[in-house]
Structure 1
Amino acid sequence: MLDVRRLRLLRELSLRGTIAAVAEALAFTPSAVSQQLSALEREAGLPLLERTGRRVSLTPAGQNLARHADAVLERLEQAAAELADTRQGMAGPLRIGTFPAATRAMVLGALTSLVHQHPDLEPMMLEIDPVGVAGALRAGDLDVALIHEYDFVPAPDEPGLVAEPLCTEPMYLAFGSPGPDEGAGGSGLAHGKDLPWITATPGTLCHAMTLRACQAAGFTPRVRHQVDDFATVLALVAAGQGVALVPQLGVVDPPPGVALTRLPLHRRTEVAYRAGAARHPAVTATIAALRAAVPEDLARPDEPPRQRGGGPRVVV
């Protein structure tokens, strides 16, 4: 009989690429991960891993078993959801991942609603960059999380996860008054091609969006500051330190001296959770509370949930 916990480790190795990364994500030691995977090979009766020096890759049999692991783990999530649905009321911890702009605009209101309607539920919020959400969900560190994608930075496929669209917000070019010289030609982002830029830190989706949007407009931005907090970004803009690309949720109450130009660019926010957990009552209640908390001036797309693993859109 194959051990489910070991199957989870194999699935994570297929996604993360190294034993060290699996160990860090799941709070194991690398030696413990290696021992468990060796035990899984003995259970399977054939090699699942190929070791070349310090590098490890999956054999064809290992790759096939990792795909089955996705299906097994999804069915376990479905079973847990059905068991939770038979209990009277919701109780216990509920771990919600979010990013700062969504925390202020939606998550705080959703938390208030959840606590009022389900007093035995214990929502626990963690601010996390969307690039780290997939691993945290699969590891069980989060139950539900808000993620986002941009026009030039689509969300990557993530096996084992499902995402539901929540809202769409426009993007703005933020600049210090009186702003770029209109007589210099160009439009939209092109107004900032000769000015210093304020971007998010490298490795974030916001940083990638600014670089790709500027490149699509025909120039590479000259980055002066790298800041992740939009309030600080706008303060720097007001101080004449550069221009920035900011989504609508990030331009609430801009400081004096900041002008905004709306661009034909967008950021889309989705709610993600583990495949198979769609009918879990706590997940369902959280998504409903988040939808009710979306600001009225943001678009609310009427789209079905979608598998993040590259499969077809599904209604779950």
Structure 2
Amino acid sequence: MIDVHRLRLLLELARRGTITAAAEALAYTPSAVSQQLAALEREAGVPLLERAGRRVALTPAGVVLAGYAESVLAVLEEASAALAATRDSLTGPLRIGAFPSAARVILPPALVALGRDHPGLELMVTELDPVDVPDALRGGALDVALTFVYDYVPAAPDPALDTEPLLEEIVYLATPDATRASIADCRDAGWIAGSPGTLCHTLVLRACEANGFTPRIRHHADDFGTVLALVAAGQGVSLIPQLGIADAPAEVALTPLAARRRSSIACRRGTRDHPAIAAFVAAVRESGPETRGTGARGSWY
């Protein structure tokens, strides 16, 4: 019988290419991963791995088994969701991830509704950038997450995750005055971007490159309130989506762009119908009208 936990390790190795990276993703030691994969080879009865320089590659048999692993894990998640649906009430932890502006604007009314309707749920929120969401969901650190992509920074679908659209927002060019009406007008300006590696940092790079220049990034800030304060102080220009412009200082000129930020709800494949996750999705969608009242309006799906 093939061990399911070892299948998960094989799948992470297939995604990441090194035993060290797979171990970090699932909070194992590299030696433990090696031992578990060796045991999996014995269970399978065929070689699953081969060395390729410093990396480990899957054999043809390993590729076949990794392909089945994705479906096996999804079916097990579906089974867990079906069992949860037989219970009379929702109990236990629900680990929720959200990017900062969603954690500030979208989540609070949804959490109030969940706590009222399902007091047995232990709601646990982690704020994180969308680039970290897939690993957190696949590794089990999160059950469900609010995430997003920008038009300038699209993301390929992840076969391990289910997503559904939530909100589309206009992206604004934020400047200290109204004399710069486009990204191209800001070629010589200093820029304010998110921390390197975040999606908001990549947005600034890609948007400026699409307009024919490399931005001169002067400041890094991840909180849109801080970004707006820096813009108001004449420290640079930036790009900010609708959820981030509430209470913008009067000194900041906001020019709507054609670019959009598209938010979605993500969970592991097979868990979408889990009662706790379904309740979370419903609460988030019902909070839409309240969120629209914040002054950060967007188009809800």
TM bucket (normalised to shorter chain) is over 0.9
Contact persistence 1:107–1:290 (CA under 8 A): yes
SS of residue matched to 2:266: strand
Identify if the C-alpha distance between structure 1 residues 53 and 212 changes in structure 2 by more than 3 Å, giving closer, same or farther: closer
Output the CA distance in 2 between the equivalents of 1:252 and 1:201: 21
Report the Cα offset of residue 53 of structure 1: 4.9
Output the CA distance in 1 between the equivalents of 2:170 and 2:178: 22
Per-residue Cα deviation, 1:239-280 (whole angstroms, up to 9, x for no partner): 111000111111110123111111111000000001111111
Output the CA distance in 2 between the equivalents of 1:171 and 1:260: 9
Map 1:33-182 to 2 at 5 A: 33-180=33-180
Report the Cα offset of residue 52 of structure 1: 3.8
Given the alignment, which residue of 248, 251, 255 partners 1:257? 251
Contact persistence 1:175–1:237 (CA under 8 A): yes
Ranges of 4+ aligned residues in structure 1 off by more than 3 Å: none
Report the Cα offset of residue 179 of structure 1: 4.1
Report the Cα offset of residue 95 of structure 1: 0.2
Partner of 2:193: 199
Output the CA distance in 1 between the equivalents of 2:179 and 2:208: 17
Partner of 2:209: 215
Per-residue Cα deviation, 1:201-246 (whole angstroms, up to 9, x for no partner): 2211111111111122222211111221111111111111100011
Output the CA distance in 2 between the equivalents of 1:113 and 1:96: 15
Output the CA distance in 1 between the equivalents of 2:168 and 2:271: 24
Partner of 2:6: 6
Amino acid at match of 1:38: A
Partner of 1:307: none
Report the Cα offset of residue 104 of structure 1: 1.0
Partner of 1:306: none
What is the TM-score with the length of structure 1 in the denominator?
0.91
Give aligned-pair identity as a percent. Answer: 58
SS of residue matched to 1:188: coil
Identify if the C-alpha distance between structure 1 residues 265 and 178 changes in structure 2 by more than 3 Å, giving closer, same or farther: closer
Structure 1, gaps ≥5 residues long: 181-186, 302-316
Partner of 1:311: none
SS of residue matched to 1:162: strand
Per-residue Cα deviation, 1:172-196 (whole angstroms, up to 9, x for no partner): 010113543xxxxxx5211211211
More moved, 284-293 vs 253-262: 253-262
The alignment of Structure 1 onto Structure 2 pairs a total of residues equal to 295
Report the Cα offset of residue 158 of structure 1: 1.4
SS of residue matched to 2:106: helix
Partner of 2:240: 246
Amino acid at match of 2:40: L
Report the Cα offset of residue 159 of structure 1: 2.2
Partner of 1:292: 286
Output the CA distance in 2 between the equivalents of 1:24 and 1:252: 38
Output the CA distance in 2 between the equivalents of 1:27 and 1:57: 21
Output the CA distance in 1 between the equivalents of 2:279 and 2:298: 21
More moved, 114-123 vs 12-21: 12-21
Output the CA distance in 2 between the equivalents of 1:156 and 1:253: 34
Output the CA distance in 2 between the equivalents of 1:155 and 1:112: 31
Identify if the C-alpha distance between structure 1 residues 46 and 211 changes in structure 2 by more than 3 Å, giving closer, same or farther: same
Per-residue Cα deviation, 1:26-75 (whole angstroms, up to 9, x for no partner): 11111000000000011111111112453211111111111100000000
